[in-house]
Amino acid sequence: MAVIPEALQLESIEAFVKIYRNGILYLCLLAVAATGRAQQADPQSAAPPAAADSEGAAQNPATQDPTKQNPTTQNPPATQNPTTQNPPAQNPPARPPAQTPATQTPPPTTPPVQTAPQQPATGPIVNAPPELPKYPDVRLPGEYGFYFGITAWTPKQQPTFDKGRNTGIVNNSFVTMQGTPTVAPGFETGLAIGLHNTLSLSFWESRAAGDFVTPVNLTVFNGQTYTSNTLISTDYLIQNLKISFAYLTWPYPVESRRFRFKTLWQIQYVSARSGFDAPQLPLTDANGNPIIDANGNPISYAATGTKWFILPTFGASATEYITRNIRFEASGDGFAIPHHSTLYEAEGSLAVRISSFELRGGAKMFHFKTSTSQDFYMRGTLASAFVGIRWYSH
């Protein structure tokens, strides 16, 4: 095994130390060079190229004199202590001064162009409501064209007669009118107005006559007085004329429904005439001469008077079409002035239509009272079944 001389070993160690020291220095220079390139890429933080080049030239081992690194020219190993050798102090590369970014002045802003506000319209803005949808409307028989008809009923009730509040009569004046009417005839006509409204005119009358014996002294029209136990004949005539407008109130629109509810707006005229007589009292004396009253006129025991009034009446009617040609109808209306006139009525009927004709049947009721503030007045409630027939236009 060959023995390496001690002097050669010392030289080798010294050379290794130099190489190690120069290697570390070279790595530091490489790091500084990389930092310089990054700063050159960033113009705000780039370092001056002159300083970097000067330091790189000073620290580049390639530029050093190779004769100085020759181990043959170094001091003998006896005079060199590798542990006591201090590497030369190396100043770190100076950092480039921080560059303050230039103050950026924002570009001058141009004020927006102001446009004059638009003046509102002088008139009000009216939004028209949307047009209502149109529904198919079905008119059933009796809701178009016009009609004529006749009616008949037989009320059995008897109206009454009495004195009013302002008559000034002391004797009794209350009389139940006698007789039973046979038939109370009437007629009617109507005209369809609009979709389901109707304007109609109707009239009826009822009359009767009969006798009774008054139990007390009795005073009637024109101061005519009958003593007690006198046979008195009575007769009366009641008439009613009505103009009625039936306005469809519900449902609306009707579409194909079969029910109708209508309000009634009416004007009615009522007349009540009453008559009295004493047929058994003598009109002539024993010689056959006419008996003369205080005024020199032939005596008479008859007295007649008429009381009438006109009232508006309001009511409602309901109609249900069971089929197209069969319907049920009910109505009621009335009006009253306290201590004066009163009127109300009701009716229910079933109607069956055959071609242009319609047969009606049902029941009706009629109540009236003339003004009690007059000298005499009449009142009564009439009710019975009725029948009728109508002819309708196409």
In a domain, 353, yes or no: yes
Could you tell me if residue 339 is left (phi over 0), alpha (psi between -120 and 50 degrees) or otherwise beta? left
Assigned domain for 293 exists? no
For residue 341, what are its two tokens? Answer: 């006139």
Q: What is the CATH number of the domain that holds 362?
A: 2.40.128.90
User: Which of 35, 60, 79 delimits the end of a domain?
Assistant: 79
User: Can you give the pTM of this predicted structure?
Assistant: 0.65
Structural domain contains residue 100: no
Cα separation, 110 vs 42, whole angstroms: 33
Contact 197, 247 (CB under 8 A): yes
Q: Are 342 and 248 in a shared domain?
A: yes
Q: Which structural domain, as residue segments, surrounds residue 321?
A: 146-282+299-392
Query: Taking Cα atoms as reference points, which of 391, 335, 388 lies closest to residue 203?
Result: 388
> Do both 68 and 155 map to the same domain?
no
φ, ψ dihedrals at 249, nearest 5°: -105, -40
Same domain as 334, residue 220: yes
Q: Tell me the sheet residues that pair with 378.
A: 161
The answer on 57 and 173 residing in a single domain is: no
Last residue of a domain, one of 57, 79, 101: 79
**Is residue 138 in some structural domain?**
no
Among 43, 60, 79, identify where a domain stops: 79
Do 156 and 55 belong together in one domain? Answer: no
Total domains present in the chain:
2
On the CB side of 185, how many CA atoms lie within 13 Å of its CA?
3
Please report whether residue 94 resides in a domain: no
Is residue 176 domain-resident?
Answer: yes
Same domain, 60 and 157: no
- Cβ atoms of 336 and 329 closer than 8 Å: no
Burial environment of residue 49 by CB neighbours within 10 A (0 to 12, 13 to 18, 19 or more): exposed
pLDDT by 10s per residue, the chain, length 394: 445 555 555 566 666 556 656 666 667 677 766 666 655 555 444 444 444 444 444 444 444 444 444 444 444 444 444 444 454 445 555 555 555 544 455 555 555 555 555 655 566 776 777 776 666 788 888 889 999 999 999 999 999 999 998 888 889 999 999 998 889 999 999 999 988 999 999 999 999 999 999 999 999 999 999 999 999 999 999 999 999 999 999 998 888 899 999 999 999 999 999 999 999 999 888 888 888 888 888 999 999 999 999 999 999 999 999 999 999 999 999 999 998 999 999 999 999 999 999 999 999 999 999 999 999 999 999 999 999 999 999 8
Q: How deeply is 284 buried, as exposed, middle or buried, from its count of CB atoms within 10 A (0-12, 13-18, 19+)? A: exposed
Answer yes or no: do 164 and 73 share one domain: no
The reply to whether 233 and 348 lie within a common domain is: yes
